[in-house]
Amino acid sequence: MRPLHPVSPRLRTVLGISFFVLFVTFWAWITLGGHVNRIFLADPLSMLKDGWRLLVEDRFWLDILITIWRVFGGFVLASVVAVPLGIAMGAWKPVEAFLEPFVSFARYLPASAFIPLLILWAGIGELEKLLVIFVGSVFQIILIIAVKVGSTRRDLVEAAYTLGSANNGIVRRVIMPANAPEIAETLRLVLGWAWTYVIVAELIGSSSGIGYMIINSQSRLATGQIIFGIIVIGLIGLLSDFAFKAFNRWLFPWSLA
């Protein structure tokens, strides 16, 4: 095969789908063919059956909704704090010198390890779930945005100065719009991570949500339900990612043109 040679759109779709087919076929073969113990891994058909029962009889869609709300709630909370701070750090070097060492350190604190502490502080209600996502996302967003803003094209800034911009105008009418698409792209990325944190938060001290259903299914060895839950998370993640991408494209037509 020629390196870096593009593939036709048709072939790309066919290849992309065929891996899914291959994957499910392999899964069906080892489970339905009796190559693994059914207790540890459900086959695709019973997974679908379990999923259907979950949705129809156990009102699983309520769990889905509550999980979605937690992800977006925590994510919005983190964004509202992190975006202005990140911009401030990137734009004003003293602010960066003041906050950067702490934020860099805080970034490595694992959000999941905060769960016991957050339960002590905020109980096992919704606030605790939001805070887990907040802690997991906020420092990441701050740092990435600060770096992007810090690398704003200097020639654009200089051009604005020669056109009469004052310091304030540089930040508001050059630095912010110049980095807006990158900031939105960063948020899209971090939203993906927020899905990981929410499940961890729901595995501990929770009585609703997709994560709760998964941990609950474990004790009943309902592997079909667990796999169904995981697939639902994947699908929602994919959908929100698509929506976010489309929204960014609509918001920043100039960055693609």
Partner 1 sequence: MSKLLIEGVSRTFAGVRGGQPVRALMPVDLAVAANDFITILGPSGCGKSTLLRIVAGLEAPSEGRVLLDGKAVTRPGPDRGMVFQSYTLFPWLTVAENIAFGLRERGMAEKERDGIVASYVDLVGLKGFENHWPKQLSGGMQQRTAIARALANDPEILLLDEPFGALDNQTRGLMQELLLGIWERRKKTVLFVTHDIEEAIFMASRVIVMTARPGSIKSDVVVELPHPRHYTLKTSPEFSALKARLTEDLRVEAIRTADAH
Stretch that binds partner 1, among 28-36, 113-121, 159-167, 195-203 (CB under 8 A): 159-167
Closer residue to partner 1 (CB): 87 or 133: 87
Tell me if 252 contacts partner 1 by CB under 8 A: yes
C-beta closer to partner 1: residue 127 or 180: 180
The residue range among 3-11, 111-119, 121-129, 177-185 that interacts with partner 1, by the rule CB under 8 A, is 177-185
Q: Label each residue of the chain as H, E or C.
A: CCCCCCCCHHHHHHHHHHHHHHHHHHHHHHHHCCCCCCCCCCCHHHHHHHHHHHHHHCCHHHHHHHHHHHHHHHHHHHHHHHHHHHHHHHHCHHHHHHHHHHHHHHHCCCHHHHHHHHHHHHCCCHHHHHHHHHHHHHHHHHHHHHHHHHCCCHHHHHHHHHCCCCHHHHHHHHHHHHHHHHHHHHHHHHHHHHHHHHHHHHHCCCCCCHHHHHHHHHHCCCHHHHHHHHHHHHHHHHHHHHHHHHHHHHHCHHHCC
Our finding on whether 87 is near partner 1 (CB under 8 A) is no
Among 44, 169, 205, 237, binds partner 1 (CB under 8 A): 169
In the complex, least distance from residue 237 CB atom to partner 1, rounded to whole angstroms:
29
> Is residue 68 a contact point for partner 1 (CB under 8 A)?
no
**251 contacts partner 1 (rule: CB under 8 A):** no
Name residues whose C-beta falls within 8 Å of residue 78's C-beta, 6 or more positions apart in sequence. 133, 134, 137, 138, 141, 190, 194
Of 155, 219, 220, 250, the residue at the interface with partner 1 (CB under 8 A) is: 155
Looking at 16, 164, 219, 220, which residue binds partner 1 (CB under 8 A)?
Answer: 164
Of 41, 124, 160, 200, which lies in the binding site for partner 1, with binding defined by CB under 8 A? 160
* 128 neighbors 205 (Cβ within 8 angstroms): yes
Which part of the chain contacts partner 1 (CB under 8 A), choosing from 12-20, 155-163, 212-220, 240-248?
155-163
Q: Does 165 bind partner 1 (CB under 8 A)?
A: yes
The answer to the question of residue 92 lying near partner 1 (CB under 8 A) is no
**Which stretch in 40-48, 72-80, 140-148, 161-169 sits in contact with partner 1 by CB under 8 A?**
161-169
Among 64, 174, 201, 213, which residue sits at the site for partner 1 (rule: CB under 8 A)? 174
Identify which of 95, 82, 58, 29 has the alpha carbon closest to the alpha carbon of residue 193.
82
Q: Does 69 bind partner 1 (CB under 8 A)?
A: no
In the complex, the residues that contact partner 1 under the rule CB under 8 A are 153, 155-156, 158-166, 169, 173-174, 177-178, 180, 252-255, 257
